[in-house]
Structure formats: structure tokens, C-alpha cells
Amino acid sequence: MSTGIDFIEIESGCLSLSNATKIEDIIELDKEAVVQDLSSQQIGEILQLPIANSPLPICVWDCCAGSGGKSLLLYDLLPDLNLTVSDIRQSILANLKKRFARAGVRKYHWFVADLTDINSRFTIDHSPFDLIICDAPCTGSGTWSRTPEQLYFFDEKKIDQYALVQTRIVTNVIPQLRPGSFFVYITCSVFKRENEDIVHFIEQQFHVQMIKMKLLRGYQNRADSMFVSVFRNGL
């Protein structure tokens, strides 16, 4: 059916539409298609690396799941997975559940947790995991091309504050990996303190090997900028 809507095909499975497009009047969002930033979609290509030769079904923990965008990417690539999602915010997990329901995703486990509490001794069902995705809280500096006003209000002290949060989270979650499994660290930040410095911290503190690191420069494509690194657990 022709709708008369202009679009640009960025790559296979990815279309660019005007911000004013009322796409919800044409398709069922999260069921027939997902609206995501281009860089977020490109994370899906990187996620193919850790799942390429994994035995099925793989056991995955999306530890800072938010509304579930990265988990939906993974489900699109590999529906046969045992998924666990968590977040510190009960309200955002409520949004995730609604989004998953629309997408037909029903096989998953969820829980609320403060992963910055390094004194916590939480027990996670289905641990250890074959893959942990950590889309970590950050300054969001990679999104400032569409919200430039944030730069005016930004306090540089927040960089170190977020870096502390990030180190605490990875310290809690990486021990939940099984031997030979993978850890994917993601931010929407452009600051070295939140990206390369965290990679260095992970390499120094854990028996893991960094096998891929990339900055997705979204501003070149009118998208957010994102940082992603992939580690293989050596133990």
C-alpha cells in the first residue's frame, strides 16, 4: 500500500523519515517496526559479534535495560534466547513490559536493582550469563547535537560522577559472566572518562579481553554519538 510518505533507505532494514512523520498512523510501533536512533540500530551489528558462535539458547542479561531497545535489537537478531532485564527504575521497566508486549516478547525475566551498590549481595536467577549488555548511565553528551541547550547547563563535575557510577555497575555485573562469555559496554557519551577510561578499568580489574571498541560518530548522520566496547571473559 502506498502512503505517499517520503523516506530514505539508509541501509537494509533501516529507513530515515522526517521528524514530523506520524508513522504510528501507518504501522504498529514495536510490532511491525521499531523507531530508534541510527547509532542505536548500529549497535545491533556489533551485537552479532558475541552471539555469532554461541550455543542456543543463549542466556542474556540486559542489566541497564531502560525501555528495552537493546533487548529488542537482540531479539530481532536471535529470537532463541533466555533474556533477563533489570533497571534501577520500576517505572521504566513498566514501559519496557508494555513495549515487549506490543513486540510479542513474552519469554523474559525482570527485576529492579541498584547495581551501583557495591556492598549489595544480590542473587540473580539464570546466572552466569553468556552475554551481558550494559548500556550504562552517562552524561548523554553524545545526544547534545539534538539538545544543544544541555551544554549550557552542564557541570563538568558530572563526568567524574557518572564515571564512578559506571565503574560500580561493571564491578557488580562482570562477575556474573560464565567462562568464554561476552560483556558489551555502551554509552551515549563522547567523553574519554566515561568510555576509554572505563575500558581500561575493566581490563585492569577483570580477566577479560577487549576485542572491539568503536565510537559511532552520529553527528555525521544527524544521529546520536555512541561508544561501544566488546569484551570476552577469559575465566
219: helix, strand or coil? helix
What strand order describes the sheet that includes 81-87?
108-112, 81-87, 58-62, 129-135, 177-187, 226-233, 208-216
Q: Is the dihedral of CA 88, 229, 159, 168 positive or negative?
A: positive
Q: Residue 119 to residues 13, 58, 173, 190: CA-CA distances in angstroms?
A: 43, 29, 13, 30
Active site annotation includes 188: yes
Q: What angle do CA 35, 37, 39 make, to 5 degrees?
A: 140
Catalytic residue numbers, as ranges: 188
